Structure 1
Amino acid sequence: MTTIANNLQQVLGRMAQACTVAGREPGAVGLLAVSKTFGAAAVLEAVAAGQRAFGENYIQEGVDKIAAVRAAMPCVALQWHCIGPIQSNKTRPVAEHFDWVHTVDRLKIAERLSAQRPAHLPPLQICVQVNIDGGATKSGVAPQDAADLVRAVAKLPRLAVRGLMCIPEPAPDFESQLAVHTRAKRLFDEIAAGGIPGLLQFDTLSLGMTADLEAAIQAGSTLVRVGTGIFGGRSYPAT
């Protein structure tokens, strides 16, 4: 078994244990393998081990990787999630190549994605990013404005609003992690129950990473985003 395959099994084991502790079905939480900075070969190893959903932070890197993986495994259906910030001039490649976007935090980006999504593709699945704890360096709409943004995005064609995404500031212990994740789940539930027109399948709370997935699952996350726990530590180019 390769290192990536072994790591993947360990992460899935952590998730299953966390679901058991939380009283949730193991299949209630999906795994998004965050493959940023790792090449197509690493993704192909994860695919061979059974992983099917991948997250990319850097748009051009992601577009190139999607093409390389598709060329190597044309018959395997994968999901590609854009989980990094999107500038207005970078919306077209996202709309044309990704299946999901987790980082919509203003209406302008959603409008551009809607206008640029090719008609032959299924609707782009959208998570609105919320700065749930007010982190000074974090992107995301303020919690009190999240419902209004969801309502506006839900009106746009070629998009389907599926839920919320949060990246809280690192917390020092499980209880602190759980507290902020619970806030995100509470907001998610409030929006889901709000009767917003166009929310046909508001079912995704993208919450939790390698270090805090147990607390996120306890709070109610439906999708955890794990990179280093699967692929190992990252080396970033010098700037």
Structure 2
Amino acid sequence: MTTINCNLQQVRARIAQACAAAGRPADAVALLAVSKTFGPEAVREAALAGQRCFGENYIQEAVEKMALVDALGVPAPLEWHCIGPVQSNKTRLVAEHFDWVHTLDRIKTAQRLSDQRPEHLPPLQVCIQVNVDGGATKGGVPPDEALKLARTVALLPRLRLRGVMSIPDEAPDAQTQWAVLQRVRQVFDLLRTQGGPGFEDFDTLSLGMTGDLEAAIRAGSTMVRVGSGIFGARHYPA
């Protein structure tokens, strides 16, 4: 059994235990394997261990990796999620190659993605990124602007609004983590109850990573994004 396979089993066990502790069914939370900076061989190892959904931050790198993974061969089609910022000059690549985008925070980007999504592909699944910390260097809309953006995005023809995503700052302990993550859950609940047309598939709270997975599931996350817990420590180029 490979290291990645072992790590995946451990992460899945953590998810199941966290769901049980929160009184939720074990299948209530999907696992997104964050494969940024890792090569196609690592993705293939995870795919052979049963992982199907992969998250990438760097769009050009991801598109090249997708082709290499296809060339290596995997037993079933993979689902690719863009979880990094989408610059205007990269919207076509995202629209043509990804299945999901978690980081939508501008109507201009949403319009370009909708316009550039090929007709032969299903609608692009999207989440509104919310910045609950208020950090100026972080992506996402302020919580009080999320509903307005979501209602506009929901009406774009080649997008399907699925939910909310956030990347809060690291917190020193589980209780503090949970308190911050609860603020994201409140935004999710607000949008789900007050959304309107185009919110029929609004069911995804993309929240939690390797370090705060349990707190995120306690707060109601339906999709956790785990990278180092599956693939190991990252080594970024200088």
TM-score range, shorter chain: over 0.9
* Alignment partner, residue 190 of structure 2: 190
Alignment of 1:1-239 (within 5 A): 1-73=1-73, 76-238=76-238
* TM-aligned CA deviation for residue 192 of structure 1: 0.3
* TM-aligned CA deviation for residue 136 of structure 1: 3.2
Residue segments in structure 2 that go unaligned for 5+ positions in a row: none
**Equivalent position SS for 1:193:** helix
Counterpart-to-counterpart distance in 2, 1:80 and 1:208: 18
Corresponding letter in the other structure for 1:218:
R
Cα distance 1:75–1:20, how it changes in 2: closer, same or farther (>3 A)? closer
State the 4+ residue runs in structure 1 displaced beyond 6 angstroms.
none
Q: Percent identity?
A: 66
Counterpart-to-counterpart distance in 1, 2:44 and 2:77: 12
Cα distance 1:131–1:195, how it changes in 2: closer, same or farther (>3 A)? closer
Corresponding letter in the other structure for 2:156:
L
* TM-aligned CA deviation for residue 186 of structure 1: 1.2
Q: Report if aligned partners of 2:185, 2:220 keep a CA contact under 8 Å in 1.
A: yes
Q: Deviations over 1:108-161 (max 9, x none)?
A: 000000000000000000001000121233110010000000000011111000
**Equivalent position SS for 2:188:** helix
Residue segments in structure 1 that go unaligned for 5+ positions in a row: none
Counterpart-to-counterpart distance in 2, 1:164 and 1:135: 18
Q: Deviations over 1:72-121 (max 9, x none)?
A: 22651111000000111110000000000001001000000000000000
Counterpart-to-counterpart distance in 2, 1:22 and 1:73: 38
Counterpart-to-counterpart distance in 2, 1:28 and 1:73: 29
Cα distance 1:195–1:153, how it changes in 2: closer, same or farther (>3 A)? closer
Cα distance 1:176–1:74, how it changes in 2: closer, same or farther (>3 A)? closer
**Equivalent position SS for 1:137:** coil
TM-score (norm 1): 0.98
* TM-aligned CA deviation for residue 199 of structure 1: 1.0
Counterpart-to-counterpart distance in 1, 2:120 and 2:61: 24
Q: Deviations over 1:202-231 (max 9, x none)?
A: 000000000000000000000000000000
Q: Deviations over 1:154-177 (max 9, x none)?
A: 111110000000000100000100
Q: Report if aligned partners of 1:135, 1:168 keep a CA contact under 8 Å in 2.
A: no
Q: Report if aligned partners of 2:151, 2:195 keep a CA contact under 8 Å in 1.
A: no
**Equivalent position SS for 1:122:** coil
TM-score (norm 2): 0.98
Corresponding letter in the other structure for 2:26:
P
Cα distance 1:167–1:195, how it changes in 2: closer, same or farther (>3 A)? closer
**Equivalent position SS for 1:136:** coil
* TM-aligned CA deviation for residue 32 of structure 1: 0.2
Moved more, 61-70 or 121-130: 61-70
Q: Report if aligned partners of 2:101, 2:126 keep a CA contact under 8 Å in 1.
A: yes
